[in-house]
Structure 1
Amino acid sequence: MASSTFSRWLRPDVYPLFAAVGVAVGICGVQLVRNISTNPQVRVNKQNRAAGVLENFGEGEKYAEHSLRKFVRNKAPEIMPAVNKFFSDPK
């Protein structure tokens, strides 16, 4: 029973599915750790929860304007800019 289930799911045809699910779980895990560790509105320990609502706009701005957002801010929303320029620019 166990070997038939094992051989059914560990075929090379299923590897892309495992990879896609693994990447999705990894992205969710990174976002979860980022929110727990750096989000100014999330307070894990009891001492910080007792502080109530804080007016920490600087910390919130730092959390919202992370390095990836700063990197893509002035970029064109294209996946393959060279291919788009090849097909769209007249010569």
Structure 2
Amino acid sequence: MASSTLKRWLRPEVYPLFAAMGVALGICGMQLVRNISGNPEVRVTKENRAAGILDNFVEGEKYAEHRLRKFVRNKSPEIMPSVNSFFTDPK
């Protein structure tokens, strides 16, 4: 029974599915760790939970303005700007 299950799921056609699922799980895990370790609204320890609601805007701004957001802030919201301008801008 185990051999037939392995033959069914470990075929080369299924490798892209495993890769896509692995990437999706990796992204979910990364976001979970980021939220638990860096989000100012998430308090894991009992001492931090006892503090109640904190008005710490500096820490919240630091969490919200991460490196990726700073990188794409002044970029054009296009995937391929040169191709888009080639087809849309008249000469």
Structure 1: segments with no counterpart, 5+ residues: none
Percent of aligned pairs with the same amino acid: 80
Measured in 1, the distance between the counterparts of 2:82 and 2:18 equals 31
Taking the aligned partners of 1:35 and 1:7, their CA distance within structure 2 comes to 39
For the pair 1:78 / 2:70, whether they are aligned, the reply is: no
Gap runs ≥5 in structure 2: none
Instruction: Name the residue aligned to 1:11.
Output: 11
Q: Deviations over 1:6-61 (max 9, x none)?
A: 01111111111111111111110000000000000000111111111111000001
Aligned to 1:32: 32
CA RMSD of aligned residues (A): 1.0
Worse-matched range after superposition: 29-38 or 73-82: 73-82
Q: TM-score, normalised by structure 2?
A: 0.93
Scaled by the length of structure 1, what TM-score is found?
Answer: 0.93
